[in-house]
Amino acid sequence: MNKTALITGASSGIGLELARIHAGKGGDLVLVARRGDELDRIANELSERHSVNVDVLSADLTSNHGVEQVMSFLSEKGIDVHYLFNNAGVGGYGYFHERDLEKELNMIRLNIQSLVELTHRILPSMIKRGSGKILNTSSTAGFIPGPLQANYYATKAFVNSFSNALDQEVRRHGITVTSLCPGPVKTGFEDAAGMVGSGLFKNAATAHSTAMKGYKAMEKGRLEVITDGPLKFAIKGLFPFTPMRLVLKSVEKLQKIK
């Protein structure tokens, strides 16, 4: 039986490219996103091209019942998840005190709460089986604070820390957890986050190249992969030795919409 990957946020961007990569390797899929019509189109494309089984579920993971809906779907279909791609996420641009509070809370629910809950629900079957791989889509934003995206950067800091610690806990059970930490990526994120015109996306990477680097890192069981070379150098080689006030001012300046 083909190993099944569950992918959240699978209707576009990195999630869609992860689905294409996994299907290309002969793996079955469970695709989760809010846009059901788009998921149906993707399922037809991948099943016809690669002769794999693709199940789709339209679910809102910001709701209190979103993850439960996913688990009920898996139970009804008798699907055992071998690869978990926690990819769904959202950002938001602006000064925190000026942004809508409900949007900020939804960001936490999607970027953190649903990721934690889904991982907690899927892990027992992986541990029982003695194998499994988890890829959490995080961001280089998780390594530094981000003025003008304060909440988003903080959620990704959580994802990085959670992923690293969890990998240490479950590696003894034959399971690995990898955090995918891209820089800016052309996924439509800048539109959804209200960041069109920001200097951050001037030289953004493609979703496919980012997904491929993440998938390969997951296969090797790496702890994390920072896909942007210059940003990796800055994060690991410069920022630790730079006064935080200077880092904060630089990030705010870079993110300002011109």
Structural domain of residue 121, as residue ranges? 4-255
Catalytic residue, chosen from 83, 93, 95, 152, is 152
Is 95 marked active-site? no
Total domains present in the chain: 1
Q: What's the pLDDT at 1? A: 46
Q: How far apart are the first and last CA of the chain?
A: 52
Contact between 120 and 42 under an 8 Å Cβ cutoff? The reply is no
Q: What percent of the chain has pLDDT over 90?
A: 90
CATH number, domain with residue 63: 3.40.50.720
Q: What does residue 209 show for φ and ψ, rounded to 5 degrees?
A: -65, -35
Residues of the chain scoring pLDDT < 50: 1, 193, 198
Give pTM, 2 decimals.
Answer: 0.92
* Alpha-carbon gap, residue 131 to 125, rounded angstroms: 9
Tokens of 152: 């988003």
* Alpha-carbon gap, residue 150 to 143, rounded angstroms: 12
Q: Could you tell me which residues come within 8 angstroms of residue 38 by beta carbon, excluding any fewer than 6 positions away?
A: 11, 12
